[in-house]
Amino acid sequence: MEEDLYARVVDDFVEAANTVDPERRATLLSRALSADVVFWNPLGRGVGREAVNDFITEVVHGHPEGPGRLIRTTDVDAPGEWARFGWRYESPTGEPILSGTDVVHLTPNGDIDQIIIFAGTLT
């Protein structure tokens, strides 16, 4: 797969995280994720696009400071069928709240079928 495909799929996922319109978010998630995506995050494991949507609704848009914004902070590094990218989560006023790295696996069709979120810095 070409690296621009990885970047497009990752950017669709990031845009979905930032979208408050539920229909637009569902469209973006369906473009980026397989229906049975396995989603590992700091709060646990979920399966399916709905699990990812629930995480976005509860964590990204339900933050005590208000809906924040997820920003990809690095290029998408894609050796083979796996890719990783750095991200930052900002408050509604642009203050950094958290950063980390996501690792994703892509199917031959270009859908993310696994997401692993690593929040915080590795020490």
pLDDT, one tens digit per residue, over 6-51 is 999 999 999 999 999 999 999 999 999 999 999 998 889 999 999 9
**Cβ(41)–Cβ(117) below 8 Å:** yes
**Backbone Cα Rg of the chain:** 13
49-59 tens-digit pLDDT: 999 999 998 88
Q: Token digits for 98?
A: 């958290």
Which residues make Cβ contacts (< 8 Å) with residue 57, sequence separation at least 6?
A: none
pTM, to two decimals: 0.90
Q: How far apart are CA 20 and CA 78, in angstroms?
A: 29
- Using a 10 angstrom Cβ sphere, with 0-12 exposed, 13-18 middle and 19 or more buried, the burial of residue 112 is buried
